[in-house]
Chain A
Amino acid sequence: MTTDQATPALDVAGLTHTAGSRRVLDDCSFAVPAGSVTALVGRNGAGKSTLLRTAVGLLRPDRGAVRVFGKPAGDEALPRIGYVGQQSPLYPMLTVAQTLTLGGRLNAHWDAGYARRLTGDAGLLPTTRVGSLTAGRRSRLALVMALAKRPDLLVLDEPLAPLDPVARAEVTGALMAGVAERGTTVMLSSHVVADIDGICDHVVVLAEGRVRLAAEVEQALTSHLVAVGASRALTDLDGGKVIEVRAAGSEATALIRSVEPVAATGLAWHRPTLEELILGYLRTPATQPERKVTAA
């Protein structure tokens, strides 16, 4: 299958979903460029899983649309999507070999040789029952199932959560190798910033069901600055955008959307790390009005 680089792999427009009386997703819009590795970051309950389930067609949103490579999410888009849900749901009564056979039966583009190689690399024995695998190994198998489908878009819902540090490194390596081999677009969710640092080139920050930031990582880091100094100096800032201010005694740290330091005395400026950037957006209540600061 060919991937048109101009068409977004995933185009989310005005997505709104309500569960009971709670609005889980609120007018979410962003696009995932083809060939990118995009991290969807948010706190527990932010709506990450709901958004990803909607993207792969497992949920029908109340409002809004999701398009996968230009086509509406649903049956038509399924052959191009590899999905690993939270807890890596697989049939526990099947063996690893039966699970792979099932993948072959249900997917026209199934790459059996690749699946065998990946299971071998992961140390998964064909005769082992899925139900007896540890959470980490089941996660590896679920990833194999998604990769061997040879998808153009890989959607992973907290794939690293059940893994120990060594397994995390192995899975990340396997994932990135698979992605690099075919230029697969990846959208993965996490609430651990360290998991995505260094592997994603785009980031979407979701808080209270709303998209707080959707940008290319490098661009986002370049267009933000962290100011450290006296609380008084920070409160005097006006113009531009103060994303978040955290005070500790008389000192305070602020994340500001600005390319250059703002004219203010007694402040030290530095480029934020990905963690500082994401945490700044996550800690800010979605309803808080943005304050302006003037660029120097």
Chain B
Amino acid sequence: MNWLALRLLRPYLVVATVLSVASAAFIITGAHLIQQQADAHGISVAAYAPDRTGLCEHLVSCLPLGPATNVAQAIDLVAAFLPLLIGLILGVPLFAREREESTDAFALTQSVPRLRWLFTKIGWALAAGAVCTAVAGATFRLSAARYTLLLDDDGYALLGELHKSNVGFMMMTTVFITALAGTVGLASGRTLRTLVVSVAAWPVALIVAQLGGLALGFLVYLLTSWSDALSLRFGTQTEDETATFAALALAAGTAAAVLIGRRLVTRTLR
């Protein structure tokens, strides 16, 4: 089943890998260009990052106008939408295409348990999505996140919420979207319908993850209230910690999506 799952995933895996590597290359090149421009204008980015302190004031971009700002905005866009894109590429055709072409009838009538078909396919897709996003996410975090933090625009500030400059959150966004699209594809059996539903569910999922993350953080704070040191630690969470809790909420959503998929397979099939 592994061979079949990987063979069917291959074209999408190639596209996702190319996208991930190309994004990483763009981020590295862009970061280099921004640094050059900042150096030419005598701007020390480290003085403003990560919270726009120092001379970087509201409504004034800390980055030199022109290529540096444009590239930083483009990198922010890549970081915000790449997890979604990779999730869609791997998740939408995962089961929807099989059901659309009725090839599931072939796979499901061979001498292997049906749940193995489900878990093998979704397992490889989730792993591939996590790795692809991790590569681009880590590149972004290490080389360019500090520049995008300096973009002073409400729109770009909102974009920042889509990636939170956090590799774990970006990975989990991809993993969740892959699982969600896979499950929707399993239920609907239509590629286009799966795509539309998955894209529509993405912002909702992020809001729920945000709220879920806050709730989880609060729960941890309450559970550690017996200890002054721990409650102080979780009572004042850093952005990374908030992002990690949101990623945990997405992980819970992923588990729920996979369980729904399992239920679909066992309820419709024998």
* Residue positions of A touching B, CB distance < 8 A: 53, 56-60, 72-75, 78-79, 81, 83, 85-87, 89-94, 98, 102-103, 105-109, 142, 145, 149
Contacts and interface: CB of A to CB of B under 8 A. Distances in A.
B8 interface: yes
Nearest to B102: A89
Contacts of A91: 4, 7-8, 103, 106
A90 B114 contact: no
A90 B103 contact: yes
A74 B270 CA distance: 5
B4 A83 contact: no
B268 A59 contact: yes
Contacts of B1: 105-106
A74 B114 CA distance: 9
Interface of A is mostly: loop
B109 A78 contact: yes
A102 B4 contact: yes
Nearest to A99: B106
Interface in B188-247: none
Interface in B59-86: none
Contacts of A149: 110-111
Most chain A Cβ neighbours within 10 Å, of B101, B104, B109: B109
Nearest to A85: B105
A103 B104 CA distance: 14
Contacts of B109: 56-58, 78, 81, 83, 85
A10 B110 CA distance: 18
A149 to B, nearest CB: 7
Contacts of B107: 106
B110 A103 contact: yes
B269 interface: yes
Contact of B7 (A53, A59, A73, A94): A94
Contacts of A79: 111
A106 B4 contact: yes
A181 to B, nearest CB: 20
Nearest to A73: B270
B55 interface: no
A89 B106 CA distance: 6
Interface residues of B, number: 23
Most chain A Cβ neighbours within 10 Å, of B4, B102, B105, B113: B105
Most chain A Cβ neighbours within 10 Å, of B107, B111, B268: B111
A90 to B, nearest CB: 6
A107 B111 contact: yes
Given A60-B267, A85-B106, A102-B4, A92 B101 contact: yes
Interface in B87-132: 101-114
Contacts of B3: 102, 105
B267 A75 contact: no
Contacts of A73: 270
13 contacts: A57-B109, A58-B109, A59-B269, A60-B268, A60-B269, A72-B270, A78-B109, A83-B105, A89-B106, A105-B1, A105-B3, A106-B107, A109-B111
Contacts of A103: 110
B104 to A, nearest CB: 8
B110 A75 contact: no
A145 B105 CA distance: 13
B208 to A, nearest CB: 31
Nearest to A74: B270
A106 B110 contact: yes
Contacts of A107: 110-111
A72 B269 CA distance: 12
A259 to B, nearest CB: 40
Given A78-B111, A78-B112, 9 more contacts: A74-B270, A75-B270, A78-B110, A85-B106, A90-B106, A91-B4, A106-B110, A106-B111, A149-B111
Nearest to A107: B111
B111 A87 contact: no
Interface in B134-177: none
Contact of A75 (B4, B102, B104, B113): B113
A103 B112 CA distance: 11
A75 B110 CA distance: 9
Nearest to B11: A93
